[in-house]
Amino acid sequence: MEFYLHSFGVLKVINTSYKIVAAEEFNSEQKDLLRILLRETWTATYLHRFPKAEFDDLISTLDLPNLDTMLSGDNIKIAFANVDNKIVGSAIFKEVGAVAYLWGMYILPIYQRHKIGSELFRSVLKSVQDAKFIQIYVLEESYGALLFYETLGFQRLSTDTISLSPKLSLSALVMRGDVKMMQERLYLS
């Protein structure tokens, strides 16, 4: 898929591909590339929001064997967005009964607002097999993310406290969307 990236007055065509990998098939090189992506996106997203010690604690979870708990457990899948063989976005998700849980979607800042997040989410929706709903927790202060997920068809359900690391717990909105409705909305059915 081709998109246009506008940067410093230069318009460039970028070729984007999307791939889904099961966590158990994930090799150490792929984990390292995911760590790099998350470190960069989390720094852009969270560095100015948290005290340095709490931010450092959050970043340290990326050095744990399975990226803390993100890749632990059965049936976890990772969707990737690639531009010129570089990972520029990811979404980690798992189906549990009637619900597919999305553990956040992160796109490198320079590639945001170029439809890559929407296309990455489409790839997640295409791979959902049995779930009727898809759910995500979004930090209340992440206004851009809240608007993005609402445009995809997510609705706000409730507020909950989530633990991002051993020293960092924050209030988040629980958002949920109907898989069939979202697939229709994104022309997938």
Residue 38 covered by a domain: yes
Q: How confident is the model at residue 178 (pLDDT cuts 50, 70, 90)?
A: very high
Residue 4 covered by a domain: no
> Which tens digits make up the pLDDT trace of 44-83?
888 888 888 888 888 888 888 766 566 777 788 888 888 8
> Which tens digits make up the pLDDT trace of 2-49?
444 444 444 445 567 778 787 877 788 888 888 888 899 889 888 888
Q: How far is CA 37 from CA 30, 136, 146, in A?
A: 11, 20, 21
Give the pLDDT of residue 13.
Answer: 52
Integer-rounded Cα radius of gyration of the chain: 16
DSSP-derived secondary structure letter, 49: T
Cβ neighbours around 71 below 10 Å, total:
18
The tally of domains found in the chain comes to 1
Residue 153 covered by a domain: yes
Residue 144 covered by a domain: yes
Give the pLDDT of residue 98.
Answer: 94
Report which residue type is found at 68: D
pTM: 0.82
> Which tens digits make up the pLDDT trace of 117-168?
888 898 888 888 899 999 999 988 788 888 989 988 999 999 988 887 777 8
> Which tens digits make up the pLDDT trace of 92-114?
888 899 999 998 889 888 888 87
Residue 3 covered by a domain: no
Residue 49 covered by a domain: yes
Residue 76 covered by a domain: yes
Residue 7 covered by a domain: no
Range of the domain at 50: 16-185
Helix (H) or strand (E) segment spanning residue 150: helix 143-152
**CATH number of the domain where residue 59 is located:** 3.40.630.30
